[in-house]
Amino acid sequence: MQVKNRHIVGWLEAAPLAVVLLGFLIAPIVMIVIVSFWGATEFSIYPAFQFDNYEFLFGSPVTYRVFGATLKYAFITWALTLAIGFTVAYFLAFHVRSLTMQIALFLVCTIPFWTSNIIRMISWIPFLGRNGIANQTLISWGVIDEPLEWLLYSDFSVILAFVHLYTLFMVVPIFNTMMRIDKSLLEAARDNGASGFQTLVHVIIPLTKPGIMIGTIFVVTLVMGDFITVRFMSGSQRANVGRLISNDIGLLQYPSAAATAVVLLCTVLIVIAILLRFVNIRKEL
């Protein structure tokens, strides 16, 4: 009786969460899958069961190029955020000595997460523009004669914005795992004659792996699902899958957008399934 009771109460308590996820996550996904088989005229969409949308999608060279670009953005951003995020977390966890200071500096790193992404993107314009701070500074230093054109509205600015927006998704989980490393392990390594670098490679990095994996999942999925950063920071000159979808939506071609969305979702889920092989999220919180 007691056991049965536990399951019922558990479900009652989880019900609000389950209802929201059912209505606004599961149902939309199902809807997208259904609509991806529908047809569309210029003004409306109609129910059907046809593979036209997928045929068009897989038959077009643009699709492969855009998926390639999306994976490229994800990979470069991942590498940069990991390098920066790991270094920052390492400094906070092992070089800052007082807990108060650690918390304060950690908050400094996380506060931007609670502000607007769009404003943070806009705020790069005065830096990167043709007459922006970067170009003015470089010219006044004599490094360049002509303003660099590729600073804004290019792959460079897109990736810069991604790194700016998402590095803290690496810092937080990595810092979290690092704080749980037993300091006596580090002492043991040193007592046995390991150099600082050896301790880092053979003790800290292996123990930090779960945090790295969680950060990786965040960054990769955020970049792969993005459409707004690429659009804004490239001045609509670059494309990724998200933009492909949002362009179709803009043209009211919902079935085509839905088909692309299904393929994107599958890609993201496959990537995550691979990453989850390396970590048990629930254990790491």
Partner 1 sequence: MERRPLSFYVLAVFFGLFVLFLYGPILTIGILSFQGPQGGLTFPMNGVSLHWFRDLFQEQAVGDIWGAFRRSFALGLMVMLTTVVVSVMAGLAFRKRFWGSGLVFYAAITSLVIPSILISLGVGLIFNQLGFKVHWATSGFGSQLTWTLPFGLLIMFAVFNRFDKSYEEAARDQGATAWQTLRYVVLPIIAPSLIGVALFGFTLSYDEFARTLLTAGSYNTLPLEIFGMTTNVTTPVIYALGTLTTAFSFAIIAAFLLGVWIMGKRRARLGSDAGKGV
What part of residues 70-89 is at the interface with partner 1 (CB under 8 A)? 84, 87-88
Whole-number minimum distance, CB 36 to partner 1, in Å?
10
Contact code string over 40-59 relative to partner 1, x by CB under 8 A:
--------------------
| Under rule CB under 8 A, residue 164 binds partner 1 | yes
Instruction: Tell me the HSE value of 10 on the side-chain side, using a 13 A CA sphere.
Output: 6
| DSSP string computed for 97-164 | --HHHHHHHHHHHHGGGGS-HHHHHHTTHHHHSTTSHHHHHHHHTTS-SSPPSSSSSSHHHHHHHHHH
Q: Which residues contact 91 (CB under 8 A, 6 or more apart)?
A: none
Q: Does residue 28 sit in helix, strand or coil?
A: helix
One residue of 49, 61, 100, 119 binding partner 1 per CB under 8 A:
119
Distance CA 34, CA 36 (A): 5
Nearer to partner 1, 109 or 207 (CB): 109
Pick the closer one to partner 1 by CB: 5 or 192: 5
Say whether residue 111 binds partner 1 (CB under 8 A).
yes
Q: Amino acid identity of 251?
A: L
By CB under 8 A, tell whether 221 contacts partner 1: yes
Which residue in the set 63, 82, 228, 247 belongs to the binding site for partner 1 (CB under 8 A)?
228
Helix (H) or strand (E) holding 40: strand 39-40
Q: Does 99 bind partner 1 (CB under 8 A)?
A: no
Query: Of the two residues 118 and 188, which places its CB atom closer to partner 1 in the complex?
Result: 118
Question: Should residue 117 be labelled a site residue for partner 1 when binding is judged by CB under 8 A?
Answer: yes
